[in-house]
Amino acid sequence: MKIQDIKTPAYVIDEKKLKYNLQILKDVEDRSGCKILLAQKAFSCYYEYPLIGKFISGTTASGLYEARLGKEEMGKENHVFSPAYKDDEIDEIASICDHVIFNSFSQLNKYGNKVNDIHEGKKGIGLRINPGCSTQDAAIYDPCAKGSRLGVTKDAFDAGIKKYADAFELVDGLHFHTLCEQNFDALDVTFKAFEKEFSDVLMSPGIKWLNMGGGHHITRDDYDVDGLVELIKYIKDKYNVEVYLEPGEAIALNAGYLVTSVLDIVHNDDSILILDASAACHAPDILEMPYRAPLKNSGKEGEKKYTYTLSSCTCLAGDVFGKYSFDREINIGDRLYFEDMAIYSMVKNNTFNGMALPSIYAMDDDDSCKKIKSFGYDEFKRRL
């Protein structure tokens, strides 16, 4: 069926756009010699993992469940970072992950030898660095914000080396992740800050790889891909290390829709559309970040002739997508298409208020939609 025929609400993954993004990332791998991993925290629709695996080198995880998913469904390189690991999970994590990255010297000291034994001396052990370089204003998304728990600062590193020198001998890679939806200029600034403080460590014989994390909007039209390629070549040539990138959003950027129908229209100062989709339940980043989701064939408030507030059918008063304008009047039964809804939607949705989770469709090169997952009452009840 076509997208206009599917039952709403529904997520639709646009495989044409997904392939477009993946071809850009494959080109970066080929030109620079780096390895790119899917950060599953942004996009975990494993139905598409066989396709994604044709273009990039593997997956990265934030914990055991994501690590298992990457291992089972893509089966390529599988990396993990967590602020802290659990005693009852570390064995399995080490057995299925090629790289295990620690957030502190104390965690490295606690689990490093165990991971090394499970890896049979092949190491694959990393330490996350906090380069102390903020390139964004929103503290909630800034791992280098004051008081951040993420990564080892230079002072903490110097102290850790003195206390845990033997444990650090197990480390063969460094990791930093500081970006969020940013262009190459932010990475360039960050790497220079990292290099200033840690170049001697990166140069040491035991370090074999550098992971520069995620937040790279590589597939955005204005991204400086050539600059990224040149930086990676510089790092590989100077420091003789493997370079990894972990984009999540860039892989599925603009590659999905949340399709919704208008159930009713009410009037209270504004004209308010009641949709069968919910910002709070189906696209929670709209309220959490917050941000204004792109909507097909719409404009900003007052930009076009007809302006509406787009809301949902939950009881949460603030469950609002925002104000949008249109060239025509919107009627009950009309369909609306929120764009860029592949990322941070399926991975963060919820069943608050008993809202059903949207079905998931894949739309192929011929714009035909195939249902790949549906949900019902059982999902709501099982989570409670």
Phi, psi values for residue 65, rounded to 5°: -65, -45
Give pLDDT, residue 324. Answer: 98
Number of H helices, E strands in the chain: 13, 16
Give pLDDT, residue 112. Answer: 97
For 66, the 3-state DSSP assignment is helix
Q: How many CB atoms lie within 10 A of CB 251?
A: 28
Give pLDDT, residue 198. Answer: 98
Give pLDDT, residue 266. Answer: 98
How far from 258 is each of 3, 233, 275, 295, 355, CA to CA, in Å? 11, 39, 11, 9, 15
How far from 60 is each of 38, 45, 82, CA to CA, in Å? 6, 14, 11
Give pLDDT, residue 76. Answer: 98
Give pLDDT, residue 122. Answer: 87
Q: Global pTM?
A: 0.96
Residues 6+ apart with CB under 8 A from 2: 367, 368, 369
Q: How many CB atoms lie within 10 A of CB 27?
A: 14
Give pLDDT, residue 106. Answer: 98
Residues 6+ apart with CB under 8 A from 264: 273, 274, 332
Residue type, 203: M
Structure-token match 């509406």, residue found: 308
Structural domains in the chain, CATH included, are 3-11+256-341+349-382 (2.40.37.10), 33-252 (3.20.20.10)
Give pLDDT, residue 200. Answer: 97
Q: How many CB atoms lie within 10 A of CB 164?
A: 17
What residue ranges of the chain have pLDDT lower than 70?
none
